[in-house]
Chains A and B, each alone.
Chain A
């Protein structure tokens, strides 16, 4: 089966997200900071009338925030929290300018299984090197996820 992936960069490394998981790709916006949240939570923004949180993937994986460039964009995806169900979540990453087509048999499982980076999924290789898929469902640790998404339920 052929899969279409949206490619982006975090530092110099290429990562990808399967396009079926993407709701929309947005240009960079101003985020409203979330004091007290982990530093990789870029903040919240108004997505067509709904306030949704965004994760800075550069910060999460590489320790520095995404640069404000034209190619830095936000992926709107659906994140399922174990307790409260589906939520919209923004993912900010750099160099989001291309899609790639990969056959799913060419995606090799990553042998590493680290608790800290369970969100890193299978790896594909092409002429330009390796590209690794992101697993949205493991991006947030349970406690962060709970704090981000339980507020709406408490109200």
Chain B
């Protein structure tokens, strides 16, 4: 009897016949103070044998500082280069679509405009901006080309990529200095190199990148 009163959620609550009048106020036992008091009461038990020993031993050790992944980048491939752009700039990733060239303003980098959900946005070639040979495709690739849509200070840009790898989380300490092996123009725009699996990823510095792009629309 006493047990039944203590676990009312099993008898008259949501796990029982739902006859409790308090349910009208709280909708679900989870919201009811009786239920939360029941949960707190579990902590009024005595610790099991050895538990205090374990806690004592655990606390005697230095706190392990877990690596926190506080940053994220979208990883994509252009030619043979894997690159990442800070995820907060990303608007969406869409299928490949026609790029309409802009008369008299056409060049290798500013390739034209494209329609994304009915909006016309500028489109640039990441490969030409960075000086990567986009024609080179790794042999194992069976990738689908996509268009990345990014927003930087009220400008929305689209750029085609050969392949998307997805979102990669990392922390500041995961960023390494760019080695010389990365294509020669890329280091100008990278803030460092990340390792995702067995891939080396050049993390693009969005400030430098979009500053360089602005030259083409000025």
Contacts and interface: CB of A to CB of B under 8 A. Distances in A.
A30 B59 CA distance: 11
A45 B57 CA distance: 10
A28 B52 CA distance: 6
A46 interface: yes
B5 interface: no
A97 interface: yes
Interface residues of A, number: 17
B40 A69 contact: no
A71 B47 contact: no
Contacts of B46: 68-70
Interface in A30-83: 30, 45-49, 68-71
B60 A46 contact: yes
Contacts, number: 52
Contacts of A49: 60-62
A69 B45 CA distance: 6
SS of B interface (majority) = helix
B63 to A, nearest CB: 5
Nearest to B40: A97
Contact of B43 (A29, A45, A97): A97
A126 B56 CA distance: 36
A52 to B, nearest CB: 10
B55 interface: yes
Contacts of A47: 59
A77 to B, nearest CB: 15
A30 B45 contact: no
B44 interface: yes
B55 A48 contact: no
A101 interface: no
Given A30-B52, A30-B53, A70 B43 contact: yes
A113 interface: no
Nearest to A76: B59
B52 A68 contact: yes
Contacts of B40: 71, 97-98
Contacts of B52: 27-30, 68
A48 B63 contact: yes
A26 B56 CA distance: 10
Interface of B: 40, 42-47, 51-53, 55-56, 59-63
Shortest Cβ-Cβ A-B pairs, 10 listed: A71-B43, A46-B60, A29-B56, A70-B43, A27-B55, A30-B56, A97-B40, A29-B55, A70-B45, A48-B63
28 contacts: A26-B55, A26-B59, A27-B47, A27-B51, A27-B52, A27-B55, A27-B59, A28-B47, A28-B52, A29-B56, A30-B52, A30-B53, A30-B56, A45-B59, A48-B59, A48-B63, A49-B62, A68-B46, A68-B52, A69-B44, A70-B42, A70-B43, A70-B44, A70-B45, A70-B47, A71-B40, A71-B44, A98-B40
